[in-house]
Amino acid sequence: MLTDLISLRRTLRLTGRAYLSRLEAEIDEVTAWASERAKERDLSKSRIRDLGDMITLVRKIDAKPIKGRRRDLKKIDATVGDLRELIGNTSSR
């Protein structure tokens, strides 16, 4: 039983690290996209609207990191997914 619990703890840590690494990489992708858009001189109205929507999505997250709640991780994950969807939809404009 003890070795199973130790194995479970190890699996939790590895899974948690991989999950956080994936989210951080996705946030980096969105950050790079936004940084490139910020350098453009003549942004279209739709791009400006998309950037505003992205800011709203990020600011809307009401998380309490110190509590370490799964629902906060779900909110962050969903928001990152929404941000990636926005940059995917606007990359062809």
Buried b (16+ CB within 10 A) or exposed e, 16-28: eeeeeeebeeebe
pLDDT attached to residue 40: 87
Q: Which domain holds residue 37?
A: 22-90
pLDDT attached to residue 92: 44
Q: Is residue 13 part of a domain?
A: no
Q: Is residue 11 part of a domain?
A: no
Q: What is the mean pLDDT of each run of 10 residues along the chain (93 residues)?
A: 96 97 97 90 87 94 94 96 85 45
Q: Is residue 63 part of a domain?
A: yes
> For the whole model, what pTM was predicted?
0.84
pLDDT attached to residue 37: 87
Number of domains in the chain: 1
Q: Is residue 1 part of a domain?
A: no
Q: Is residue 15 part of a domain?
A: no
